[in-house]
């Protein structure tokens, strides 16, 4: 017995494909769309179609972009001598939110994960090395995640970039602001102590 | 929800939802346990590095509907030096991937945990060719514990004598074949006398003794190629970390 009319069932099926959306969340979203006006539903559908049509990868840094270059690569005021290497386009947003970095980016499109069969060839590592050969970069900041995949990726890239005579730095690991010291795990606290600074 | 404490090695993690992880653990008794670490991907998580692969810890688990839930974790050994070196991390990924494939939920094999911890401990202090030797030693020992111990002193099919020079190694039977059995064998791989002697030595040595054996790199590469084919033949799923490691060591 079908619980839903076919169009609702189809919408639920599509919504459940989205990450983090289970059957209950899909039902809540579907009913919200059904209760809203037709224009709102059309705007949502248009936005989804438009983003797929208009957005592509930046030809230089592989961030999401509306044209050949993303906003960061197209901005002539940014410091082209410092490059921040991140795993995903969402990491660019996270770094930008800090307001502490005014250099350029390179998005690897993932991290080395041997257990998942992801090696350096599946990432934009070759393109990074090509860029470093073309552009006048004096420092590469490795801002991959501080987990085993991110650390392995950072070690691999450092091994490739250091012989080019470019300074390679890694973002610091340590205690989150607002966190309690007693709840910190041994590795994080150890790293925080290791990277302590003079006051 | 009943809860219990278990010492385990974290093998793998899979993202779940917005900020959770499913952590695959190898418990001290050799059973595989899959558990959810809620909020583990958030920077302020109390789990943090405690559920990262290669970490040995004491985990408090609650029985959930489908998966266990990690409610507390304490690190016993983080194997930090593995994370700080690319070559060590690659070798350790083979260990984790093979253990993930051969360990089974509710199926005890107490030696497996000991082998895993001894291998990771040895990898922490190893460099260069020692990493390859430890990886090959782990593969042959892990397969033995999984029920596929290679036999090198006699033909595994008929028990007859085998050649002293280059032989065909039966992937199915797990050993070098005699002349009579070699003719009809389907899945075989080349085994040099050096590789045979190296595998016998690695199988008999403890992990701490492996670096001291001083097996030459070309022989280790032969032995690795053979063990890779053997593992690939017997395990139900492909070991991707093994494929990447083979490419990295040039085999």
Report ipTM (2 d.p.).
0.87
Largest interatomic CA distance in chain A:
70
Question: Are residues A120 and A39 both part of a single domain?
Answer: no
In angstroms, the CA B71 to CA A1 distance is 40
A45–chain B nearest CA distance, Å: 24
Spell out which residues of chain B touch residue A157, defining contact as CB-CB under 8 Å: none
Helix (H) or strand (E) holding A57: strand A56-57
* SS3 per-residue string spanning B112-145: HHHHHHHHHHHHHHCCCHHHHHHHHHHHHHHHHH
Determine, yes or no, domain membership for A61: no
Residues from chain A contacting residue B18 (CB–CB below 8 Å): 20
d(CA B176, CA B149): 13
Does a structural domain hold residue A89?
yes
Residue A72 and residue A164 in one domain: yes
Q: How many structural domains comprise chain A?
A: 2
Do residues B176 and B167 lie in contact, with contact meaning Cβ atoms separated by under 8 Å?
yes
Between CA B2 and CA A181 the distance in angstroms is 30
Tell me the per-residue pLDDT of B85-124, one tens digit each, with 9 for 90 and over: 999 999 999 999 999 999 999 888 889 999 999 999 999 9
Is A37 in the same domain as A103? no
- Assess if residue A151 is contained within a domain: yes
- Report, in angstroms and rounded to the nearest whole number, the Rg of chain B calculated over CA atoms: 19
Range of the domain at A34: 6-54
Judge if A21 and A106 occupy the same domain: no
Q: Which of B103, B107, B93, B114 is nearest to B28 (CA)?
A: B114
**Is A62 part of a structural domain of the chain?**
no
Per-residue pLDDT of chain A (199 residues; tens, 9 = 90+): 478 899 999 999 999 999 888 899 999 999 999 999 999 999 999 999 999 999 999 999 999 999 999 999 999 999 999 999 999 999 999 999 999 999 999 999 999 999 999 999 999 999 999 999 999 999 999 999 999 999 999 999 999 999 999 999 999 988 888 878 888 888 888 888 988 889 9
Q: Please, which pLDDT band fits residue B234 given cuts at 50, 70 and 90?
A: very high
Q: How many CB atoms lie within 10 A of CB A177?
A: 7
CA distances to B95, B140, B245 from B228, rounded to whole Å, are 12, 10, 10
Pair A134, A40 in one domain: no
The verdict on a CB contact (< 8 Å) between B44 and A187 is no
> Closest Cα to residue B138, out of B218, B45, B230?
B230
The domain that contains A34 carries what CATH number? Answer: 1.10.8.420
Q: Does any domain span residue A59?
A: no
For residues A30 and A110, state if they share a domain: no
Please list every residue in chain A whose beta carbon sits closer than 8 Å to the beta carbon of residue B97: 114-115
Are residue A103 and residue A50 in the same domain, yes or no? no
Do A126 and A80 reside in the same domain of the chain?
yes
pLDDT digits (tens, 9 = 90+) for B28-58: 999 999 999 999 998 878 887 899 999 999 9
- Substitution target in B83, B99, B100 with the highest count of A β-carbons within 10 Å is B83
Residue A19 lies in a domain: yes
CATH number at residue A111: 3.40.1360.10
Identify whether residues A96 and A178 lie together within a single domain.
yes
In the stretch 108-147 of chain B, residues with CB closer than 8 A to chain A read none
Place of tokens 């690659």: B90
Q: Do B75 and A187 touch (CB under 8 A)?
A: yes
How do residues A5-22 score in pLDDT, each as one tens digit? 999 999 999 999 998 888
Q: Contact B86/A152, CB-based, under 8 Å?
A: yes
Pair (A88, A174) in one structural domain: yes
Tell me if A99 is assigned to some domain. yes
Say if residue A152 is in the same domain as residue A181: yes
**Does residue A74 belong to any structural domain of this protein?**
yes
Q: Are residues A112 and A164 in the same domain?
A: yes
For an interface test with A, the pick among B20, B53, B89, B91 (most A C-beta atoms closer than 10 Å) comes out as: B89
Give residue B147's Cα distance to chain centre.
Answer: 14
Residues B189 and B166 sit within 8 Å (Cβ to Cβ)? no
pTM, full prediction: 0.88
């Amino acid at each position: 017995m079908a619980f839903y009319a076919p169009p609702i069932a189809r919408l639920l099926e599509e919504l459940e494909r989205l990450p983090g959306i289970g059957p209950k969340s899909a039902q809540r979203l579907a009913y919200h769309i059904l209760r809203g006006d037709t224009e709102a539903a059309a705007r949502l559908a248009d936005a989804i179609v438009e983003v797929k049509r208009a957005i592509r990868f930046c030809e230089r840094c592989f961030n999401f972009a509306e044209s050949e270059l993303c906003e960061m690569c197209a901005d002539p005021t940014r410091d082209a001598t410092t490059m921040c290497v991140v795993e995903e386009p969402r990491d660019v947003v996270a770094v930008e939110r800090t307001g502490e970095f005014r250099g350029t980016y390179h998005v690897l499109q993932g991290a080395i994960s041997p257990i998942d069969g992801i090696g350096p060839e599946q990432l934009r590592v070759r393109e990074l090395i090509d860029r470093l050969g073309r552009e006048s970069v004096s420092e590469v900041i490795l801002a991959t995640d501080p987990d085993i995949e991110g650390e392995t990726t950072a070690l691999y890239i450092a091994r490739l970039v250091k012989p080019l005579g470019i300074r390679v730095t890694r973002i610091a690991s340590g205690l989150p602001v607002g966190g309690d010291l007693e709840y910190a795990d041994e590795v994080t606290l150890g790293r925080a102590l290791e990277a302590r600074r003079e006051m | 929800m009943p809860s219990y404490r278990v010492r385990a090695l974290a093998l793998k993690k899979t993202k779940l939802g917005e900020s959770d992880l499913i952590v695959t653990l190898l418990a001290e008794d050799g059973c595989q346990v899959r558990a959810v670490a809620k909020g583990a991907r958030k920077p302020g998580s109390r789990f943090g590095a405690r559920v990262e692969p290669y970490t040995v810890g004491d985990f408090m688990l609650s029985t959930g509907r489908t998966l266990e839930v990690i409610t507390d974790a304490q690190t016993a050994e983080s194997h930090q030096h593995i994370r700080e070196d690319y070559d060590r991390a690659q070798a350790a990924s083979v260990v984790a991937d093979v253990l993930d494939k051969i360990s089974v939920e509710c199926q005890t094999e107490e030696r497996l945990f000991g082998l895993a911890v001894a291998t990771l401990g040895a990898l922490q202090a190893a460099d260069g060719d020692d990493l390859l030797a430890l990886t090959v030693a782990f593969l042959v020992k892990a397969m033995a514990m999984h029920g596929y111990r290679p036999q090198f002193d006699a033909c595994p099919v008929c028990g007859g004598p085998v050649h002293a020079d280059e032989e065909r190694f039966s992937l199915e039977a797990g050993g070098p074949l005699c002349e009579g059995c070699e003719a009809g064998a389907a899945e075989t791989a080349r085994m040099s006398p050096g590789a045979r002697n190296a595998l016998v030595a690695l199988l008999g040595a403890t992990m701490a003794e492996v670096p001291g054996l001083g097996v030459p790199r070309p022989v280790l590469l032969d032995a690795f190629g053979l063990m890779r084919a053997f593992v690939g033949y017997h395990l139900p799923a492909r070991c991707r970390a093994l494929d990447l490691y083979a490419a990295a060591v040039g085999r």
